[in-house]
Amino acid sequence: MSNAICEALDIRYPIILGGLSRIGRAPLVAAVSNAGGLGLLGAGSWTAEEFREQIRETRNLTDRVFGANIPGHAEAADELVETAIAERLRVMSTSAGSPRRFTARLKEAGVYVIHVVSTVAHAMTAEKAGVDAIVAEGSESGGMTSMEQVSTLVLVPQVAEAVGCPVIAAGGIADARGLAASFALGAVGVQLGTVLMATKECEVSPAFKEMMVRARETDTYLDPRGRAASRIFKEDFTKTALQDLKETSSPTVPDLDLVQTGVGQATGMIREVRTVAEVIGSMVSQAREILPGLIMNLPLGDAE
Ligand SMILES: Cc1cc2nc3c(=O)[nH]c(=O)nc-3n(C[C@H](O)[C@H](O)[C@H](O)COP(=O)(O)O)c2cc1C
């Protein structure tokens, strides 16, 4: 499996760990890059110093390419961008704000820039701003998203039609079927969040991972926060799950912070906590099996 994104970024598979503020730290990022994907550090809530430490720690854990995401609303956004350049990160993702703010500076420093959008109009603005690739993120996704609520199935083909640069699909992708579907929609790769949080290498608490395994596709909602919204677990689900976890032999007592941690609808597809290599490996190998078979679902008829 190789394509425009793999060649440009020197990665084996077109599978990206999206920026996960507070969660996308060195062990998870390195595990994704070591498994052949592209890990992005979730730099949103860090100071420049914390970011530098995480970059160095990631370099101790992998010699593969990795990058970072800086959302426009990050308090230290400007400093974080300068840190990424000083530390010679080759690829950066920007989100939640105008792509014009950082693209020229990053490109001038030779960085490959990926920008995350949730509407076709924003994709067109990002392309004009000169980004190298666009992540089209549907409203199924975990974490902060647009209140417009356009689903991945509707957003990705329209973004792919509207722009000339490579498009990466995000939101609700958790297995080989999602990867295969993304190619059919016109994407050259996928960005994952939720499914990679339910892995052994992710540092969210075991209780949160257990909640992800238990949750159904209907157990999240979009919590509005001004012009943006954040997809998190519903209160009812959280209460019941926490009660159950307290009564069973949960390895850690869940803390209230869990309630506010972003999680996508794809949580309904998670059956167990696996390693990052298992998630990415099965995604790639099963996609290779199912893609050639899909044509069988289209009977030949009069249209021939
Ligand atoms: C807990 C959490 C935090 C996130 N933080 C960020 C962030 O700081 N910046 C960003 O661009 N996207 C963020 N995202 C979105 C992810 O990068 C990714 O695009 C999204 O999770 C993909 O959808 P999925 O969750 O359905 O896989 C976050 C998602 C989650 C679940």
Residue predicted with more confidence, 300 or 16: 16
* d(C-alpha 221, C-alpha 247), whole Å: 26
Read off the pLDDT of residues 69-119 as tens digits, 9 standing for 90 and up. Answer: 999 999 999 999 999 999 999 999 999 999 999 999 999 999 999 999 999
How many whole angstroms from 141 Cα to the centroid of ligand 1?
A: 7
* d(C-alpha 187, C-alpha 166), whole Å: 7
| The pLDDT of residue 254 | 46
Query: Phi and psi of 44, rounded to 5°?
Result: -45, -40
| The pLDDT of residue 206 | 87
Atom of ligand 1 nearest to the CA of 42: 8
How much is the average pLDDT of 206-220?
94
How many whole angstroms from 20 Cα to the centroid of ligand 1?
A: 5
- To the nearest 10 degrees (0 to 180), the angle between helices 120-128 and 152-162 is 30
How many whole angstroms from 142 Cα to the centroid of ligand 1?
A: 5
- Residue with CA at minimum distance from ligand 1 atom 11: 95
CA 240 to chain centre: 28
Whole-Å CA distances, 260 to 172, 193, 229, 235, 241: 19, 16, 12, 10, 14
| The pLDDT of residue 259 | 67
pLDDT band at 224 (very low <50, low <70, confident <90, very high): confident
Whether the per-residue pLDDT at 125 is higher than 80: the answer is yes
How many whole angstroms from 156 Cα to the centroid of ligand 1?
A: 17
- Residue with CA at minimum distance from ligand 1 atom 15: 143
Amino acid, single-letter form, for residue 183: F
Whether the per-residue pLDDT at 246 is higher than 90: the answer is no
| The pLDDT of residue 293 | 87
How much is the average pLDDT of 35-56?
98
Angle in degrees, CA 297, 300, 304, rounded to 5: 140
* d(C-alpha 37, C-alpha 32), whole Å: 5
Taking all residues of the chain, what is their mean pLDDT, rounded to a whole number?
A: 93
167 and 133 Cβ atoms separated by less than 8 Å: yes
Whether the per-residue pLDDT at 44 is higher than 70: the answer is yes
pTM (global) more than 0.75: yes
Whether the per-residue pLDDT at 2 is higher than 80: the answer is no
Q: Which residues line ligand 1 (CB under 6 A)?
A: 18-21, 23, 42, 44, 69, 71, 95, 116, 137, 140-143, 170-173, 191-195, 261-264, 266
Read off the pLDDT of residues 284-299 as tens digits, 9 standing for 90 and up. Answer: 999 999 998 888 788 8
